[in-house]
Structure 1
Amino acid sequence: MRKLELRHIHAFVCVAKHLHFSRAAEELDIAAPSLTKLIQEAERLLGVRLFHRTKRSVALSAAGSAYLAEAISALGHLARGEERAILAERGELGRIEIGYVASAAYAGVLQRAVSGFRARYASVDVSIREVPMDGAAGMLRDGLLDAAYVRPPMPLVEGIQSSTVHRDTFVLALPENSALAGSPTVKPAHLHDQCFVLPEQESGTFEVARRGRFSPRLGPRPGTLAAVLACVSLGGNVAVVPHTLAGCITLPGVVYRNIAGKPIASEIALAFRKFERAPAVRAFLEFARSG
């Protein structure tokens, strides 16, 4: 059974707007007889008379008046749908799930990227959540995250890659009553008898031990950097942590000291799927990496 088509609805709304077939035909850029035929087809398919027509006037029928409001609404929905489809194709509409390790927030790199992106792409819903670093790559692979701020080096599963977005250095967090706290800089060799609390990114700890030529005595692995510092504050442990913590986390009983020698690099990277298809996610990745 043949149904009403979009061209019939456009023709009807245009005639209802002008109540004049010639002017409506001119706006639609079609011949007046073709417009008449479209209206007649619409009436036949609907089974109602849409207009009362004489040689001198055109007026909406009761059925036409009732149908007009719904037709205008339908065309409005279609126009909005078209707009949203275009926005989505340009990456200006959608939803993004972003995971992060706490140090990305401490460094401000997370806030700069997300806030800036939200300001530019107001119609994209950006959700953030702290995630354990060792689970971030798997969450990206499984579609639970679209991007993740992590601290390299870390193993990446197949199909996931990362790009450095922030560069930092490692410092030493130690109890304020430690004998080592009396100097602004601590030599790696002087840490040979210390017990190290391990953060999620442990590369800094092992680099300090390598430079000091000792095997580190490893203590607890509490997880988050805040938990690492809490362990240090209780005394008896030290930790190698990103320098950004020194500027934003002050815990009773904890002091920060520089590590002597060449600075030990500490980076924050943005991990993502290599072959991302979602335009909104691609737009975020481009924005975050360009900042």
Structure 2
Amino acid sequence: MPVELRHVRCFLSVARHLHFTRAADELGIAPPALTRQIQEAERLLGVRLFQRTKRSVALTAAGEAYLVEASSALDHLARGAERAALAERGELGRIVIGYVGSAVYSGVLQTHVRGFRARYPQVAIGIREIVMREAGALLIDGHIDIAYVRPPVPYPDGVEVRTVRRDAFIVALPADSPLTQSETITPAQLRGQSFVLPEQESGTLEVGRRGRFEPQIAGQPGTLSDVLAHVSLGGDVAVVPRSLAQCVTVPGVEYREIAGKPVPSEVAVVYRRFEKGAAVKGFLEMASKA
């Protein structure tokens, strides 16, 4: 039988008091029971831990050596219990967040992560840019815990979506486009233009529907920065989130509002429906209130 935690606690109490009766009182057991625990520990360890006389108790050299490690072991166990309690409450752990660029441009990702870190500094947060259409699979496979996307996006079963920021689409134009002479652009004015599609193509399709035309697609290069680069080279336009115009300036690109009822855009968090991680659930709760 190995030395057990009860043996260690008895040893540490006697080592602290160097008095069996006071140590027994601290532990809430009878002195004879404490003596048996120490004798059992010595037998299991194969060493004498204490020199005992009728008038004194002192640690042996073996006892001094064991004291250091036993105290450290008990401290580690106590810290382990504390960390387990923190993890159970969602105050310790790790969260991996996937995001599309427009979530960064909107500021909502920064607001949520900073707020959560301030409240739960012991939870590590990793972030990675993702391709929006892959968000659901990354969640289901456990590669990320939360995704910030621009709906609508196809999701697999077992995934939930929650809107965290409302926005609207505007149009990005080449600086030399005649359309820049207008303060606002009607959907009909974009008939005949070639469009560069961002990952979220719903804004472009809605503009085409309102203008009663089928958008001519020049390409879908990827991130919003790629989209703006194509617009800046001239010839193509793009329908992009308004938040982009508020923080990204690209030479050769001008932004204009779309006339009429705003073309809605949203930023949403996507997460596993039956999430079990306490830290992830705490983040989602905070994000829904921010």
Give the alignment's TM-score, normalised by structure 1. 0.98
Q: Following superposition of structure 1 onto structure 2, how do residues 59-208 of structure 1 map, counting pairs within 5 Å? A: 59-208=58-207
Residue 222 of structure 1 corresponds to 221
Question: SS of 1:270's equivalent?
Answer: strand
Query: What do the CA deviations read for 1:128-172 (whole angstroms, capped 9, x no partner)?
Result: 011111111111111111000000001001111110011000001
Q: How far apart are the structure 1 equivalents of 2:207 and 2:120?
A: 43
Q: By how many angstroms is 1:92 displaced?
A: 1.1
Specify the SS of the correspondent of 2:165.
Answer: strand
Q: Aligned with 2:143: secondary structure?
A: coil
| AA aligned opposite 1:190 | Q
In structure 2, C-alpha distance between the alignment counterparts of 1:212 and 1:103, rounded to whole Å: 25
Deviation at 1:127, TM superposition (A): 0.4
Question: How large is the Cα RMSD of the aligned pairs?
Answer: 0.9
Aligned to 1:55: 54
Match of 1:228, SS?
helix
The one-letter code matched in structure 2 to 1:153 is: P
Tell me what 1:21 maps to: 20
State the one-letter code of the partner of 1:251: V
User: Which amino acid letter does the alignment assign opposite residue 38 of structure 1?
Assistant: Q
Matched residue SS, 1:49: coil
State the match for 1:256 in structure 2. Answer: 255
Partner of 2:42: 43
1:166 is matched by which residue type in structure 2? Answer: R
Alpha-carbon shift at residue 230 of structure 1 (Å): 0.8
Q: Equivalent residue of 1:83, what SS?
A: helix
Amino acid at match of 1:249: V
The AA in structure 2 aligned to 1:241 is: V
For 1:263, the aligned partner's letter is P
* Counterpart in the other structure of 1:31: 30
Normalised TM-score (structure 2)? 0.98
Between the aligned partners of 2:223 and 2:65, the Cα distance in structure 1 is 63
Return 274-283 or 7-16, whichever deviates more.
274-283
Structure 2 Cα separation of the partners of residues 224 and 8 of structure 1: 62
- Give the drift of 1:93: 1.1
1:25 is displaced (CA, Å) by 1.1
Instruction: Find the aligned partners of 1:243 and 1:21 in 2 and give their Cα distance.
Output: 75
Q: How far off its partner does 1:68 sit?
A: 0.8
Structure 1 moving runs of 4+ over 6 Å:
none
Offset, 1:51: 0.7
Partner residue in 1 for 2:281: 282
Deviation of 1:46 after TM superposition, in Å, equals 1.5
**Post-superposition offset of 1:108:** 0.5
Matched residue, 1:3: 2
Q: CA deviation at 1:10?
A: 0.1
